[in-house]
Amino acid sequence: MKKIFLLTILAISLTNYCYSQTNATNFIEDDCNGVSHNLFDELDDGNIIVISWIMPCGPCATYSFPAYDAVQSFATSHPGKVHFYFADDYANSACGLLNNFANNYSMSNSTIFTSANITMSDYGVDGMPKVVVLGGNSHQIYLNKNDDKINYNNVHAAISTALNDLSLDIEDQKSNSFSLQIFPSPAQNISTISYSLQANEKINIELIDMLGKKIVLLDNQIQSKGQNNLTINTKKYLNGNYFIRIRSNINSQTINFSISN
C-alpha cells in the first residue's frame, strides 16, 4: 500500500513538473512549403507563435479550430505578428494529407510541419490536439493546454498577454537601442553597418532574406562599448531586398537593406 502511495505521489509530481515548464524548446525546421523556420529567431523578432499538434481527424479539428480562430482575430490589429503553426502529432503524416486536412477544416492560413524535431512532449503530457502559445525574447510559454481544455477565450487571452508583454519589452529596448544604420542602401559592391553599444558585449549580425531565412552570419563576437562599424562585400550576394539583424543577449534590432550591384 505504501509503495502504491509513493508511486502515485511520484506520478503527480512528474505531471506537475511537465506542466510547470515556462520556456519554449527551440527547433530549426522546414515547413511543408520548404521554408526554413528557427523558432527562437522568430520569437526574438517579436512574433507570437501558436503551435497546435494535430492528428488529421475530425475530433482534433474540433478543439484546434478555436486556437486557429483566435490567431486570425489578431490579423487586423497586429498584422503579421501572430502565427498559427500546425504540426502533425507524431510526424507520421505526409504534407499532402495535412494540407488537405487544413483546407477541409477551414484552417488554410496555417504554417504546416511534419517533423519529429517539433514534439509536443517538450511541453509535458501529449494531447490530441495540444496547443501552446509562445512569445517574447525569453521564449515564454503563455498557454499549454490539451484536448477539451483548449478554447477560444483562453488562447485569445494568452495571445493578448504575450502581445502586451512584447509592447512593454519594445519600450524598454528603445532606451537601449543599437542605433543601427547601414549605408549605402542600395549597396553597390560594399556597404557599412554602423551600430552603438552601451557596454562591451557579444553581438550577432545576420543577413536575412525577405522570407526570414538567414543567408549568412556576418559577425558573432565580443565588441567594444561605443560606435562600431562592419564593412561587408555585397558582391557575394544576389541583388534584392534583405534585412540586417543585430542581437545581443538582451536586445535585438532589424532594418531593411537592399543590394544592387
33-64 tens-digit pLDDT: 999 999 999 998 889 999 999 988 877 788 88
How many Å separate Cα 29 from the centre of its chain? 12
Query: Do the Cβ atoms of 110 and 102 come closer than 8 Å?
Result: yes
Mean pLDDT score, 229-258? 87
What percentage of the chain exceeds 70 in pLDDT?
Answer: 88
Q: What is the mean pLDDT of residues 230-252?
A: 87
Q: What pLDDT shows up at residue 18? A: 42
2-173 belongs to which homologous superfamily?
A: Glutaredoxin (3.40.30.10)
| Domain covering 181-259 in this structure, CATH number | 2.60.40.1930
Q: Which residues touch 11 (CB under 8 Å, ≥6 apart)? A: none
Least confident of 11-25, 176-190, 220-234: 11-25
The mean pLDDT value for 125-138 works out to 90
**CB-side exposure of 209: number of CA atoms within 13 Å?**
12
Q: Rounded to an integer, what distance in angstroms lies between the CA atom of residue 34 and that of residue 5?
A: 50
Give 190-216 pLDDT, tens digit per residue.
999 999 888 888 899 999 887 777 888
92 - beta bridge partners?
A: none
The predicted pLDDT at position 7 comes to 41
Distance CA 115, CA 127 (A): 17
Task: Give pLDDT, residue 176.
Answer: 55
Q: What pLDDT digit, counting tens, does each position of 57-112 carry?
A: 877 788 888 999 999 999 999 888 999 999 999 999 999 999 999 999 889 889 99
Mean pLDDT of 128-140: 91
Q: Sketch the domain layout of the chain as residue ranges.
A: 2-173, 181-259
Is residue 19 pLDDT above 70, yes or no?
no
Is the model's pTM score more than 0.85?
Answer: no
Pick from 8-12, 52-56, 164-168: least confident: 8-12
Give the per-residue pLDDT at 138: 84
Mean pLDDT across 128-154: 93
On the question of pLDDT at 174 being above 60, the answer is no
